[in-house]
Chains A and B, each alone.
Chain A
Amino acid sequence: MTDSFIADRAPLLELRGISKSYGKVHALRGVDLSFVEGELVALLGDNGAGKSTLIKVLSGLERPDEGQMIWRGQAVDLNSPRQAGRLGIETIFQDGALVDGMSIARNIFMGREPTNRLGLLALKRMRETAQRVLSELVHIDGIGSCDRTVGELSGGQKQAVAIARAIHFQRTMLLLDEPTSALAVKATQALLDHLRVLKRRGITSVLITHNLYHAFELCDRFLVMNRGRVVFEAAKADTSIEELTGHVTGVPAGHSS
């Protein structure tokens, strides 16, 4: 897994001097980052470090006050999730960005429904594709029919559906905000397997997590945030769990507010 981190590849997405404040709270202070294609990056840090704000900026939900974003070498303005979606960026929040009351098939095609010219849904195609996506792309036990509503699924199954959706629509970059925080042990392990599948398909994933062991097991590169800044950055080969833990818990001081 270590050989897949190729530093000299052209970056997929670059952030330069991204800042974002909410009133007097400086959530992000001049963040410089870059992500290359197909890497799995862990975004670490204590509560309030700015991780979630960064994900919101990347997913187009929040607009940075300052700074520049460069996608495949071109400056972009991510002003909406739709805009981010067009580039191929998809966010998987804790609930997987799914709607409980709708069927699995309808959730998978939500916002990207196949229709005829009158806007009528191609329901048969949706159902068949969804069933195939669920059985082939991610291996999930016990989901059964894709006509079931998402509300009937467990947390792990929901995540799997969201990931299957992202793979099916060939997203280039996946942002996962605390995807494992609500999962049982077995479901978490399954999710980590799904993330490996993503990586094999060349999808860049950014994983926010509190669980350093999961992160270390899975990711190629680690970013530690503290008080709105990236305070530590290392490839897997160059660091250890102990070092990461030290940075997350704030041992390296000197960043006054």
Chain B
Amino acid sequence: MTSMLDAGPNNDSGDPSATDSAHREPHIAATRRVRRTRGWRRALSGGEASAEIILLFVVVQAGAIVAGLLFKDDFAYLSRANVSIMLKSVPVLGLLALGVGVLMIAGEFDLSVGANYTFSAVVAAKLLTEHNLMPVVAVSAGLGVGISIALLNGFVTIWFKIPSFIATLGAMLFWQGAVLLVHGATAIRISDEQGLRSLFAGSVGPIESAFLWMLGFAAMAYVLLHRHVLGNRLYAVGGNAASARAIGISPTSVKLIAFGIAGGMAAFAGLLATTRVGSIQPGQGSGLELQAIAACVIGGVALRGGRGTAIGIVLGAALMFIIQDILLLLRAPGYYLNMFVGALIVFAAIVNQVTARRASQADD
């Protein structure tokens, strides 16, 4: 965030639609014009533009649906089985990405969310199966572990002033090892606990409950980021921590809350996945942290923090799966999936950079 300002003579009129005149009328007219053109964006995203990802999502989705209708047999995008797979597979990454995205908006990373996801689920599963605790206790313990791990990451990052990238890279390896320490390398099967299964793995009509959980958390993330006072402070701290501090916001507490949210969402995603599958593998969560960051970047979250939207994060996660799904339906070989998703991430980062630069002309 440098503020190297170009002291050119036209510096005062950054907006070409606004006249140099001091009269009120043109001033207000310009205001109205800006408001009208941006109104639909604001309606969709709650103040922070996320038009690019919405557009991309709609185009890809529309293309896939049209192709699915035209070539019902060759491209089974709209088949019941395919839609069901999509609704099942998006939520776990979507939930993780929501937590990671909130943290990224606050300007930090957590590379240990994948390991956190596994460790929290393993703790909950062990409490459930070996100690016969009530599901509600086991689930609460799992969430508590997830939040604690992330808060520890936040504490180490902030207290010792090291990059969260490094602090949580260490944490990732640490908690991956800790899974093997507390349980060993075998899978844990959880018995058919009715309460848990109907909550996390049931369905409401044709829609998986996991998907509903994701929608619920997406709505909460939307309110948090775009409507709540904490959201305002997350953007402030991630966008310019020095400014936020100068105005009396404590970056430390805001970042710690963001770490806690990321950890809680990781644990929740782990519990959800474990319940749905009925077991948890020790290596299950590894790689998810990078996918979650990728989903956020595709969804328009800035790597430097301060930018991103709830709707963008969810659509970013969905888009990663949709594109993989389309490639699978086209019978593309497996390695194409990674190549394509990899290219998409870089493309998204470039788009983010360009839009961020356009949004702050004065910064050039």
Residues of A within 8 A of B (CB): 59, 61, 80-82, 84-85, 90-91, 93-103, 106, 109-113, 115, 119-121, 123, 131, 135, 139, 141-145, 147-149, 151-158, 182-184, 186-187, 190
Which residues of chain B have C-beta atoms less than 8 A from A186's C-beta?
Answer: 9, 11-12
Residues of B within 8 A of A (CB): 1, 3-5, 7-9, 11-15, 17-22, 24, 27, 30-31, 34-35, 38, 42, 47-48, 223, 227-233, 235-236, 238-240, 242-250, 302, 306-307, 356, 359-363
A95 (CB) vs chain B CBs: closest residue: B3
A120 touches B228 (CB 8 A): yes
Which residues of chain A have C-beta atoms less than 8 A from B24's C-beta?
Answer: 135
A141 touches B21 (CB 8 A): yes
A-B contact pairs, 24 of them (CB 8 A): A59-B246, A82-B250, A84-B248, A93-B243, A94-B3, A95-B1, A95-B3, A95-B240, A101-B306, A101-B360, A111-B247, A112-B247, A119-B228, A121-B227, A123-B227, A135-B27, A141-B27, A145-B35, A147-B38, A151-B359, A151-B362, A154-B11, A182-B5, A184-B9
Q: How far is the CA of A143 from the CA of B31 in the complex (A)?
A: 8
* New contact pairs (6) apart from A145-B38, A182-B7, A183-B5, CB-CB < 8 Å: A85-B248, A96-B243, A100-B360, A112-B248, A121-B228, A145-B34
Which residues of chain A have C-beta atoms less than 8 A from B228's C-beta?
Answer: 115, 119-121
Which residues of chain A have C-beta atoms less than 8 A from B3's C-beta?
Answer: 94-95, 155, 182
A111 touches B12 (CB 8 A): no
Q: How far is the CA of A102 from the CA of B242 in the complex (A)?
A: 15
Nearest Cβ on chain A to B362's Cβ, whole angstroms: 5
- Between A84, A95, A131, the greatest number of chain B beta carbons within 10 A of the residue's beta carbon is seen for A95
Q: Which 6 A-B pairs have the closest CB atoms?
A: A151-B360, A142-B18, A99-B239, A155-B5, A82-B248, A85-B248
B35 touches A142 (CB 8 A): no
B31 touches A155 (CB 8 A): no
B31 touches A100 (CB 8 A): no
B248 touches A141 (CB 8 A): no
Nearest Cβ on chain B to A113's Cβ, whole angstroms: 5
Tell me how many residue pairs across A and B have CB atoms closer than 8 Å: 190
A99-B306, A155-B3 in contact; A144/B250 too (CB < 8 A)? no
A144 touches B18 (CB 8 A): yes
Q: Which of B20, B231, B361 contacts A142 (CB 8 A)?
A: B20
A94-B3, A121-B227, A149-B360 in contact; A99/B19 too (CB < 8 A)? no
B2 (CB) vs chain A CBs: closest residue: A95
A91 touches B246 (CB 8 A): yes
Q: Which of B14, B229, B243 contacts A97 (CB 8 A)?
A: B243
Q: How far is the CA of A248 from the CA of B227 in the complex (A)?
A: 50
A85-B247, A152-B359, A182-B7 in contact; A120/B227 too (CB < 8 A)? yes
A110 touches B232 (CB 8 A): yes
A141 touches B229 (CB 8 A): no
Q: Which of A112, A141, A183 contacts B22 (CB 8 A)?
A: A141
A165 (CB) vs chain B CBs: closest residue: B247
B362 touches A154 (CB 8 A): yes
A98 touches B243 (CB 8 A): yes
Which residues of chain A have C-beta atoms less than 8 A from B306's C-beta?
Answer: 99-102
Nearest Cβ on chain B to A180's Cβ, whole angstroms: 10
Nearest Cβ on chain B to A133's Cβ, whole angstroms: 14
Nearest Cβ on chain B to A135's Cβ, whole angstroms: 8
Nearest Cβ on chain B to A111's Cβ, whole angstroms: 4
A144-B31, A147-B34 in contact; A100/B240 too (CB < 8 A)? yes
Which residues of chain A have C-beta atoms less than 8 A from B247's C-beta?
Answer: 81, 85, 90, 97, 110-112
Nearest Cβ on chain B to A11's Cβ, whole angstroms: 24
Which residues of chain B have C-beta atoms less than 8 A from A98's C-beta?
Answer: 240, 243
Q: How far is the CA of A182 from the CA of B240 in the complex (A)?
A: 18
B9 touches A153 (CB 8 A): no
B229 touches A142 (CB 8 A): no
B243 touches A101 (CB 8 A): no
Q: Which of B17, B19, B223, B244 contacts A110 (CB 8 A)?
A: B244
Q: How far is the CA of A246 from the CA of B361 in the complex (A)?
A: 40
Q: How far is the CA of A110 from the CA of B244 in the complex (A)?
A: 8
Which residues of chain B have C-beta atoms less than 8 A from A82's C-beta?
Answer: 248, 250
Nearest Cβ on chain B to A157's Cβ, whole angstroms: 7
Nearest Cβ on chain B to A53's Cβ, whole angstroms: 15
Nearest Cβ on chain B to A136's Cβ, whole angstroms: 11
Which residues of chain B have C-beta atoms less than 8 A from A157's C-beta?
Answer: 12, 14, 362
A141 touches B7 (CB 8 A): no
A84 (CB) vs chain B CBs: closest residue: B248
Q: How far is the CA of A154 from the CA of B362 in the complex (A)?
A: 5
